Structure 1
Amino acid sequence: MRIAITGSTGLIGTALVRSLRTDGHEVVRLVRHEPTAADEVRWNPAGGQVDTAGLAGCEAVVHLAGAGVGDRRWTAAYKQEIRDSRVLGTRTLAQALASMDAPPRVLVCGSAIGYYGDTGDRRTDESAPAGAGFLPEVCVAWEDAAKPAQDAGIRTVFARTGLVVARSGGAWGRLFPIFRLGLGGRLGDGSQYWSFISLHDHIRALRHLVDTEELSGPVNLTAPEPVTNREVTAVMGRVLNRPTLFTVPAPVLRIALGDFAEDVLGSQRVVPRRLLESGFAFDHPRIMEAIRAA
């Protein structure tokens, strides 16, 4: 299969490209710079341009591009960048695909469980409405931006991703070095739920979304049993054989992270109902397995 990917140099994109190529698929990478390799196709997310000729023959597109939510402190300018990088890029891509004479059969569009906002200890699946706040508003606009592709009859799936457990990126890429030094601990009171998924299972799930014709609309990419930050802290200590005596009080997080602190301290107990109903089986369903794999 010929598959196009945006965000191919990020944590998830790099792993997805490797997985697809290992299995013999042809991968086309959408890049912002002038193409320097045979597998690159130029696009300008903010400017609304895509070299659709380079996408000819693609059966699927996986759209992962967007500014990292936890990469920097949330200033007003960076919040705008987070929103624009998702909404403008998705709209540009969706319009370009809709304009093709022979568009791909499926668009898997990145999204996030931030859509639901703070869910407390309530188990939340894809039937739940959007929450309130910055991230839910971004996710709603992000998914709405794919409407041109949906209107053109392209099967469109929104991969609402949780916290990806990986050694070298995302939230865990920051946690591992701290815990290895014996400085790890709870964030706030530790009662907030974290909906996680191992990088290995996340890549498998993305490929499942591409291949499963019955799936469209939102699909949660999280492991079946979310855990509290307190449980994550305990498991990290056991796996790395380090003490977990420290805590980071909520006021300190708010000073360090700005508005993003409310999402770190917030609770999301999100479950993958549609993924499980479609026949997907997790290799790392529990937090201990996910952390050991990373």
Structure 2
Amino acid sequence: MDAKQRIAIAGSTGLIGSALARSLAADGHEVVRLVRRRAEFPDEIEWNPERQYVHTAGLAGCDAVVNLAGAGIGDRRWTAAYKQELRDSRVLGTVALAEAVAALDTPPRVFLSGSAVGYYGDTGDRAVDESAPAGDGFLASLCVEWEEAAGAAVEAGVRTVFARSGIVVAREGGAWKRMFPLFKAGLGGRLGDGSQYWSFISRHDEIAALRHLLDTDSLSGPVNLTAPHPVTNREVTAAMGRVLRRPTLVPAPAPALRAVLGEMSSEVLGSQRVLPARLLESGFRFAFPTIDEAVRAALR
């Protein structure tokens, strides 16, 4: 992405959106943020995903629109009300943005929309890539709806990419935000029997991969954003112990996780062995391809 571009980002205050915005701005690109209030500055666009409203005129002249908005999957227990919030914050917002993009006289060259490896459901020991069908469970059905919600952009001929992200290794958010303090205190351990696969990605590689998707005109449809070497939770636990030089002797038994997390425990204990086939085929190179490297990068 050599030429300076105008890029709109929904979800620019989140763990990934904020890092992506900083990366793009540091290279001289104009970043415009979608905000859920009246726009007060030239680099803001008003929108309301729940009401499916976007100030469409604000998107005029954008070279790319990035949609990373959505309530946090692990922020709260999955009550019926919160599951509806998870769905609405993703599906309704994506519909609104896709329709706004499609309505522009000169649409952006790419619409990059978030998704997740939850699309594949529990894959057990079986490795899957983008050719695999959707799995079962709440997150799988949510991801299917989330991607289908971008239909207006696809039908308008806009290159539309779905970034199916894995578990991002970062101190500032997501699962690892909770894990680092526990492991540093010597209270970390495997979850359940530890045999479930975790498809992780360092935050550095996540941002680099998103920028690769923006730049690579040959990519559309789903692309897995995961490191090339998924590992079991037992291997994650061992890596945390090695890097932090702490014991990892405090496991969290499956029944306890189910009692504390409810339905969400099925995702924590489920196995997803996901490979980034299309990312690698398109020439992307990971800076931190192993779990030890990703953990060390997060600590830096």
What's the TM-score bracket when you normalise by the shorter of the two chains?
over 0.9
Which of 187, 194, 211 pairs up with 2:215? 211
Q: CA deviation at 1:53?
A: 1.4
| Pairing 1:19–2:23 present | yes
| Pairing 1:62–2:48 present | no
Q: 1:39 is aligned with what amino acid?
A: D
Q: 2:252 is aligned with what amino acid?
A: V
| Pairing 1:154–2:158 present | yes
Equivalent residue number for residue 38 of structure 1: 42
Alpha-carbon distance in structure 1 between the residues aligned to 2:254 and 2:52? 41
| Aligned residue pair count | 294
| Pairing 1:243–2:240 present | no
Q: TM-score of the superposition, structure 2-length normalised?
A: 0.97
Q: TM-score of the superposition, structure 1-length normalised?
A: 0.99
Which of 220, 224, 236 pairs up with 2:228? 224
Q: 2:208 is aligned with what amino acid?
A: R
Alpha-carbon distance in structure 2 between the residues aligned to 1:35 and 1:257? 38
Equivalent residue number for residue 148 of structure 2: 144
Residues 1-294 of structure 1 mapped to structure 2, 5 A cutoff: 1-294=5-298
* Identical counterparts, % of pairs: 72
Q: 1:259 is aligned with what amino acid?
A: E
Q: How far does the alpha carbon of each residue in 1:32-81 deviate from its partner, in whole angstroms, 9 at most, with x for none?
A: 11123321110111112111111111010110000110111111111111
* Structure 2: segments with no counterpart, 5+ residues: none
Alpha-carbon distance in structure 1 between the residues aligned to 2:48 and 2:235? 42
After TM superposition, what 4+ stretches of structure 1 lie above 4 angstroms from structure 2?
none
Alpha-carbon distance in structure 2 between the residues aligned to 1:49 and 1:12? 23
Alpha-carbon distance in structure 1 between the residues aligned to 2:52 and 2:235? 44
Q: CA deviation at 1:30?
A: 0.4
Alpha-carbon distance in structure 2 between the residues aligned to 1:61 and 1:242? 43
Alpha-carbon distance in structure 1 between the residues aligned to 2:216 and 2:19? 20
Alpha-carbon distance in structure 2 between the residues aligned to 1:168 and 1:99? 36
